[in-house]
């Protein structure tokens, strides 16, 4: 396994591998940038085919966190942890306690929280050994906790902005939205869409999750292999990354793609393919920033629920701005968002360098 020539490597500041076999813990923390502040991003607990795949995931996700935090105007850089789930049984409490000790050794350069496969309970185990953890409900001030409902709200606002850009209206009543993945975020997104009067098509490999959306939101089920090509106005990827690629993009019927999943584009070229097909793509890390806004607020004294909801609702305005700039300059929205995020990070680096001189 190489690091500097690994897919996803983007001049990351640091990559930490950790191994604690007694706790069944093996994983990677990638710190992409601390130019804007400590690297902040969730911890993914997932089964990887090999450690090279885990490294690529950590590298790409941590870069995404740098861009996400920059565009969400948060005083944080980007980082991400991946823990490789093994085949055998594991004491999950002991595993996350050991992970908490690892996070503590980084002295605050990286702050962790939930991501796919991790829960509030896991973060409570982490918190026994480090204060550099968020996503745990607090008694005083802004409550915080599970970021998923707040993420879903941001995705909903971003989706409306993308619909306005593509269809000239952000009224989703009567529109058909195909949602892939009805987990923590997908479920709350379906709830908001149902309330807004949208028709829902849903797909989840976990049938319990799919059934819940069918019974609560009158959603219609679609098999996993058909959800991308389903007859819908909007496609919302809310499972895992890489679903938009050279094979799947030509099959899309939806004219808007707006969902929660990180790294939806398999490669940079896929952003260009979407634009060429006349599909409006709401960049994933722009519209799924609600969760990080929420967990960051847990660490901000004086933060309020109203303040967090206001910041999350601004995701809609920001998405609209990126989409118009992208259209004006004939650049795919994914590239426009990257460019704007890189400018913010570069400016912070210049300011720091000037202060140090």
Is residue 80 among the annotated active site residues? Answer: yes
Residue 181 is a binding residue for ligand NAD (CB under 6 A): yes
Distance, C-alpha 301 to centroid of its chain:
24
Stretch that binds ligand NAD, among 14-22, 73-81, 143-151, 310-318 (CB under 6 A): 143-151
Q: Is there binding between residue 123 and ligand NAD (CB under 6 A)? A: no
- Answer whether 200's CB lies under 8 Å from 217's CB: yes
| Residue 258 sits in the site that holds ligand NAD (CB under 6 A) | no
Contacts of 63 (CB under 8 A, 6+ apart): 8, 10, 12, 32, 78
Residue 204 within binding range of ligand NAD, rule CB under 6 A: yes
Q: Judged by CB, which is closer to ligand NAD: 186, or 331?
A: 186
Distance CA 335, CA 354 (A): 28
CA pseudo-torsion sign 139, 143, 144, 148 = positive
* Nearer Cβ to ligand NAD (181/283): 181
Which range, of 33-41, 74-82, 184-192, 336-344, touches ligand NAD by CB under 6 A? 184-192
Segment lying near ligand NAD (by CB under 6 A), choices 23-31, 175-183, 318-326, 343-351:
175-183
The CA angle 312-315-319, to the nearest 5 degrees, is 170
Give the ranges where 236-289 is alpha helix by DSSP (H).
269-276, 284-287
CB of 75 to ligand NAD, least distance (A): 19
The 10 Å Cβ neighbour count of residue 101 is 16
DSSP 265: B
Q: Does 60 bind ligand NAD (CB under 6 A)?
A: no
Q: What is the closest distance, in whole angstroms, from the C-beta atom of residue 230 to ligand NAD in the complex?
A: 12
Give me 141's structure tokens: 């001030």
Residues 220-249 contacting ligand NAD, CB under 6 A: 224, 238-240
Interaction pattern, residues 261-300, with ligand NAD; x per rule: CB under 6 A: xx-------------------------x--x---------
Q: Which x/- pattern over 312-351 shows residues binding ligand NAD (rule: CB under 6 A)?
A: ----------------------------------------
By beta-carbon proximity to ligand NAD, the closer residue of 116 and 340 is 116
- Tell me how far apart the alpha carbons of residues 4 and 194 are, in angstroms, rounded to a whole number: 45
- Binder to ligand NAD among 3, 90, 173, 205 (CB under 6 A)? 205
Residue nearest to ligand NAD (CB): 183
Number of residues engaging ligand NAD in binding (CB under 6 A): 26
186 lies in the site for ligand NAD, by CB under 6 A: yes
**Nearby residues of 280 by Cβ (< 8 Å), 6 or more positions away:** 162, 165, 166, 255, 256, 257, 323, 333
Q: DSSP string spanning 54-87?
A: HHHHHHHHHHHHHHHHHHTT-S-EEEEEEEE--S
Burial pattern 314-352, b for ≥16 Cβ within 10 A else e, equals: bbbebbbebbeebeeeebbbbbbbbebbeebbeebeeee
End-to-end CA distance of the chain: 37
Q: How far is the CB of 179 from ligand NAD (least distance, A)?
A: 9
**How far apart are CB 321 and ligand NAD at their closest, in Å?**
20
Q: Which residues bind ligand NAD (CB under 6 A)?
A: 115-116, 147-148, 151, 180-186, 203-206, 209, 224, 238-240, 260-262, 288, 291
Residues known to be catalytic = 80
């Amino acid at each position: 396994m190489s690091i500097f020539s690994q897919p996803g490597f983007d001049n990351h500041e640091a990559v930490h591998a950790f191994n604690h076999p007694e706790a069944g813990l093996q994983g990677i923390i990638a710190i992409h940038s601390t130019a804007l502040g400590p690297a902040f991003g969730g911890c993914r607990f997932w089964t990887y085919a090999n450690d090279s795949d885990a490294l690529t995931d950590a590298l790409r996700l941590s870069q995404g966190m740098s861009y996400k935090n920059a565009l969400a105007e948060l005083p944080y850089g980007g980082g991400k942890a991946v823990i490789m789930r093994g085949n055998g049984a594991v004491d999950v409490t002991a595993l996350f306690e050991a992970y908490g000790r690892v996070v503590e050794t980084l002295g605050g350069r990286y702050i962790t929280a939930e991501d796919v496969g991790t829960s509030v309970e896991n973060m409570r185990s982490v918190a026994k050994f480090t204060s550099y953890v968020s996503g745990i409900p607090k008694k005083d001030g802004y409550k915080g906790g599970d970021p998923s409902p707040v993420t879903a709200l941001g995705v909903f606002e971003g989706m409306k902005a993308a619909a306005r850009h593509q269809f000239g209206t952000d009224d989703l009543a009567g529109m058909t939205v195909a949602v892939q993945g009805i987990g923590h975020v997908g479920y709350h997104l379906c709830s908001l869409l149902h309330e807004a009067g949208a028709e829902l098509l849903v797909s989840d490999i976990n049938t319990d999750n799919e059934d819940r959306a069918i019974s609560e939101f009158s959603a219609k089920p679609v098999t996993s292999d058909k959800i991308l090509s389903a007859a819908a106005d909007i496609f919302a990827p809310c499972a895992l990354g890489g679903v938009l690629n050279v094979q799947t993009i030509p099959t899309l019927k939806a004219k808007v793609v707006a969902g929660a999943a990180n790294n939806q584009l398999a490669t940079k070229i896929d952003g260009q393919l979407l634009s060429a097909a006349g599909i409006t793509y709401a960049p994933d890390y722009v519209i799924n920033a609600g969760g990080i806004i929420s967990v960051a607020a847990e660490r901000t004294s004086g933060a309020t629920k109203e303040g967090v909801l206001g910041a999350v609702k601004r995701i809609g305005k920001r998405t609209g701005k990126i989409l118009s700039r992208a259209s004006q300059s004939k650049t795919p929205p994914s590239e426009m968002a990257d460019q704007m995020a890189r400018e913010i990070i570069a400016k912070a680096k210049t300011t720091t360098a000037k202060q140090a001189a």
